[in-house]
A and B are shown apart, each in its own frame.
Chain A
Amino acid sequence: MYLIKLALRNITHARLRIWLNIIVLSFAFVSIVMTEGLYDGLSEQVRDAEIDTNVGGGQFWQKNYDPYDPFTFENSHSVIPAELGKTIDEGKATPVLITKASIFPRNQIQVVRLKGVDPDQKIIDLPTSILNKDKDVNLIPGFIGSRMASSTGLKTGDFVSARWRNINGTFDAGDIKIVSIIDINAPLSDRDQIWVPLKKLRDMMQAPKQATIIIFKKENKNRIKTGIQNWIFKDQNFLLKDINENINRKKIYSTIFYAILLGMALLAIFDTQVLSIFKRRKEIGTLMALGMTRWSVVVLFAIEGSITGIFAFILGSIYGIPILSYLANEGILLPRMVQQSQFAIGLMLYPKYGINLYIVTSIILFISVIIVSFLPTRRITKLKPTDALKGK
């Protein structure tokens, strides 16, 4: 107990050097929590965006459907079975018909997916009702995401020629009017896709009552009957697999950054401790002459280092909690470039700072600080009191 008292006294009476160390360490602590929170918030936002705009509570896929193979699209639609039709009528799911098409923006050919969706659906978070705006029955209204608009140069009000095959394999063509360009957070619902009314696409393909996938309401994910002939259920975990793998890959970079920040903080402590032991040799000798054992001196120095960590934690909390809370509530405005990335991110990124993150980071930092504080002090055990008194 007296060693803690002495260590506290040494720290509180110490000069600028220790306080600078505490400030640096507190920056590292806040930066680590901030970075991890940004990453956690980003991951959560990406998953949420995918669930809201694409995945829902899970999907039934027509048995031939393979989203990675556009050649399957011609055969991957069939009449919606009665059981699923009932669920759709109850407003718990929505059908989407998907086909491959070629469009010709700026006199170039581009392969896209036409996605037919019910304009009145409330299952996925897309403003599909805008497809109802234009009542001209001869028109094919469609909306695209901002990424698609950027890659094709299409603008609201533009017409783009499209060519597709119907279910008999016959080519057909028409002009699609871009009725709106919207910011879609999830790239999977944006890139190379044009959303058109379901009924229109069914007519274009001569595929009445047919669908390729049926997306369930996200709230219903645990109440879906899966055994339906020719339709395969894909749950949220399966549908988010790519996203999760992508997130985990990026997590490595986050971990490296975490390690670098932590390493820098610990290096500062290690350096301070080494310097401190070097500069305070005479003091160490005096402490031994006054009756302290070498081990007591080691513990004293290690406690001093640990208290530095605690003070840094307290200081970091004093200015870090308000800053981090503000960021978590108000979000961080992202540059356009980030929104155009493969990640599903909105205009704002909301970091997520859970108590777990705070506690885990604090514990890791604190244990590391204790270890790093202790390591240089082992040199004290080799010091002879007479040499230490001479400052050797």
Chain B
Amino acid sequence: MKGPRIIETRDLIKDYAMGKQFFRALSDINLSVNTGEFCGLVGPSGSGKTTLLNIIGALDNPTGGNAKVMERNINTLRHKEAAKLRNESIGFIFQTYNLLPVYTVFENVEFPLILLKKNKYEREEAVMQALEWVGLSNKAQSKPKQLSGGESQRVAVARAMVKLPKIVLADEPTANLDAANSHNIIKTMQKLNLELNTTFVFATHDEKVIKYLHRKVVLNDGKIVDDLNIN
């Protein structure tokens, strides 16, 4: 079920300084994403997918143009406000999982809820539910180094989903996984998208992911070259 617009960019530009010169990573990006979409930024390496994802996730600021996420203007967000937006409304999934190595699976998934200052019982309930979604209830006390790549990424999905965010941003989530694990991960996310109406935005060039997307925004050299809705 698609809802109102949740992400919107207008003439978005991102430049990186390279010595005295600038490298334009994104150029005139105009993109709208509605609530509940399961879409992907698709393109080769260096096309600007991750840069755009980082701006949408309020981890980076655009150089020009405008980016709005949940009606909040990313350009004008102060650091603290950006952190609050990420904390409350955005879940991240990274290519290298980025689990906190000294924590157990349970503690990793619990972490965003601690930042949200949820009480112990709320946290326990939410973490166990999130681990159930990804099928890792039996690994709650394991450490990340005891997990396989697929399991680690499922923990990352549980960590992103545990706070029931409005948006999940996944940067190359299957790049380090084999076909079977990639399939499982994407199916899990697809299920959560349907059940919880969470908006998923992927940055990927992995065909295994692309075939599950409902919408493909194709980027090349920092520009949107195609925007395809797939039924």
Contacts and interface: CB of A to CB of B under 8 A. Distances in A.
Interface string B148-159: 000000000001
Nearest to B97: A286
A288 interface: yes
A288 B115 contact: no
Interface residues of B, number: 27
A293 B80 CA distance: 6
A294 B57 CA distance: 16
Contact of B115 (A2, A14, A294): A2
A288 B59 contact: yes
A291 B87 CA distance: 4
Nearest to B54: A386
Contacts of B86: 288-291
B185 to A, nearest CB: 18
Interface in A74-114: none
B158 to A, nearest CB: 13
Nearest to B85: A291
B98 A293 contact: no
Contacts of A6: 114
B117 interface: yes
A283 B83 contact: no
Nearest to A286: B98
A389 B115 contact: no
Interface stretch (B39-47, B100-108, B127-135): B100-108
Contacts of A10: 102
Contacts of B60: 384-386
Contact of A13 (B87, B94, B103, B159): B103
Interface in A369-386: 384-386
B84 interface: yes
Contacts of A282: 96, 98
Contact of A290 (B54, B80, B87, B102): B87
B191 interface: no
A292 interface: yes
Interface in A9-59: 9-10, 13-15
B17 to A, nearest CB: 12
B10 interface: no
B59 A14 contact: no
A10 B100 CA distance: 10
Contact of B57 (A283, A289, A293): A289
B88 interface: yes
A294 B80 CA distance: 8
Contacts of B102: 9-10, 13-15
A5 B92 contact: no
B212 interface: no
Nearest to A1: B117
A291 B163 CA distance: 12
Which of B84, B88, B102 has the largest number of chain A CB atoms within 10 A? B102
Interface of A: 2, 5-6, 9-10, 13-15, 282-283, 285-286, 288-296, 384-386, 389
